[in-house]
Amino acid sequence: MMRKAATSIVLMVMVAFVVRAAFAWSRTAEVPRNAAWAVPFQTETGHIAYSLATGKGFASPFQRDSGATAWLTPVYPLLLAGIFKIFGVYTRAAFLVAIFLNIVFSSATCVPVFYAGKRIAGVGVGSGGAWLWALFPNAILIPFEWIWDTSLAALLAATLLWATLELAESARWRDWIGYGLLWGLMLMTNPAVGATLPVLLGWLAYREYRAGRVRMGRPVMALAAALLCCVPWTVRNFVVFHQFIPFRSNLSYELYIGNNENYEERRRGLPAIITQDMETLRYLRMGETAFMDEEKRKALQFMKTHPRRVLQLIRWRFVDFWIGVADPWRTFAETESWWIRGILLGNFVSAVGALAGMFVLFWRRSEYAIPVAAFPVCIPILYYVTHTSLRYRHPIDPVALLLLAVMIGALAQRMSKPGGAVQVSASI
């Protein structure tokens, strides 16, 4: 009975939903009623959704009317705009529906984690990864704290891993086309995950070749389907901005946020961030295209003239990305919040576990090592160079926890058998 409950995907999803909903309910009760409904929408996502819902088009990421934008890819702002159209703009109902959908996305992520883990290393690892995700502090916090594409992106990323592993055994064209369409949805939701696309598709193509299916028609069709999903958005951006912008326009701004003249040599943390108000005024005055060109010029100039400082910033951002702060030991000791300590500890354990899990897979020469490792290796590179946030690593978190489960499973297997270390080595 206990084993059946521990491996029940329905129970995992239910527990994940309940703990997220309970956290959201408790946090909502702590926030002043008027602020709770409006403040979470005061982001670029919320502002663009407001513009869409009020008939002004995909525009104005800083709330003030500033014209068309390509600051974000369209999927989540369109979803949020739909919520505004049905339940009202910045209303209590819209807030609750947006949080509910985030919780559903986050809870449903247990499913691809379970089945991906089951294929990689058996039902024990699949169940372990799904339970870790169900109770992971970040996965409980983020659906409430960020009305953004973050929870949806985590679901899509985990689903892409699962689909990749399953597709390796399929020769059906519809499966490959569906895989490409899933990638198109991912790219139009959070293109940062696209850093894994060449690795995953390359791995699938290699599998096709190794199986004797020399023709690359299926991988090429999957890639074509993914790119086709991006064409309408890319064409719209070219018509509006007269530039090739396949996904987002804001890379230059993100680069400057993390590499700018506010750097202080004696500072113990990340560099000071230029105020958003100041940047917003410049954006409104210059327009999006000119603003981004200027941000790119300043960021590259800083990186060129301060190479040692840039390397130091990258090192800080590496720690910040994986732990949540650039100075985790001091933050852990000084904070009085056990919740923050839990987040920092969870981030640290999942990061170390991900590294150990990758080691286990490569040591055992698992055929799935490369696609799994692609997520924690490839996706963070962009953020090491630009800047970090707790939510930026969230699409990687399901895979990181799955790798942690792989590591735990390997340790359990080794400890359960006398002489297990020798047997495992011999089998390799």
What tens-digit pLDDT sequence spans the chain (428 residues)? 777 778 899 999 999 999 999 999 998 877 666 666 677 888 899 999 999 999 999 999 987 888 899 999 999 999 999 999 999 999 889 999 999 999 999 999 999 999 999 999 999 999 999 999 999 999 999 999 999 999 999 999 999 999 999 998 887 889 999 999 999 999 999 999 999 999 999 999 888 777 666 567 888 999 999 999 999 999 999 999 999 999 999 999 999 988 887 754 434 444 444 455 677 788 888 888 899 999 999 999 999 999 999 999 999 999 999 998 888 888 888 888 888 888 999 999 999 999 999 999 999 999 999 999 999 999 999 999 998 888 999 999 999 999 999 999 999 888 877 654 433 333 33
* pLDDT for residue 282: 83
CA atoms within 13 A on the CB side of 28: 16
Burial of 127 (0-12, 13-18, 19+ CB in 10 A): buried
Q: What is the dihedral of CA 201, 245, 249, 300, to 10 degrees?
A: 80
Q: What residues contact residue 397 under an 8 Å CB cut-off, 6+ apart?
A: 133, 136, 138, 139, 154, 350
Report d(CA 343, CA 25) in Å as an integer.
Answer: 19
Report d(CA 52, CA 56) in Å as an integer.
Answer: 6
Report d(CA 71, CA 272) in Å as an integer.
Answer: 22
Element (H, E) at 282: helix 276-286
Report d(CA 213, CA 156) in Å as an integer.
Answer: 28
- CA angle centred on 155, ends 154 and 156, rounded to 5°: 95
CA atoms within 13 A on the CB side of 43: 13
Report d(CA 122, CA 408) in Å as an integer.
Answer: 13
* pLDDT for residue 273: 45
Burial 338-356 (b: 16+ CB within 10 A, else e): eebeebbbbbeebbebbbb
Long-range Cβ contacts of 204-213 (<8 Å, 24+ apart): 204/164, 204/167, 204/168, 207/168, 213/171
Report d(CA 291, CA 310) in Å as an integer.
Answer: 22
* pLDDT for residue 70: 95
* pLDDT for residue 215: 64
Q: Would you say 153 and 391 are in contact if contact means Cβ atoms under 8 Å apart?
A: no
Burial of 20 (0-12, 13-18, 19+ CB in 10 A): buried
Q: Would you say 187 and 229 are in contact if contact means Cβ atoms under 8 Å apart?
A: yes
Full-model pTM: 0.91
Instruction: Provide DSSP, 247-259.
Output: S-STHHHHHHHHS
Radius of gyration of the chain from its Cα atoms, rounded to whole angstroms: 22
Partners of 59 in the beta sheet?
68
Residue 329 CA to its chain's centroid (Å): 25
Report d(CA 228, CA 181) in Å as an integer.
Answer: 8
Report d(CA 110, CA 209) in Å as an integer.
Answer: 32
Q: Would you say 56 and 77 are in contact if contact means Cβ atoms under 8 Å apart?
A: no
Report d(CA 219, CA 407) in Å as an integer.
Answer: 31
Instruction: Provide DSSP, 56-94.
Output: S-SB-TTSS---B--SS-SHHHHHHHHHHHHH-TT-HHH
**Cβ-based neighbour number of residue 140 at 10 Å:** 24
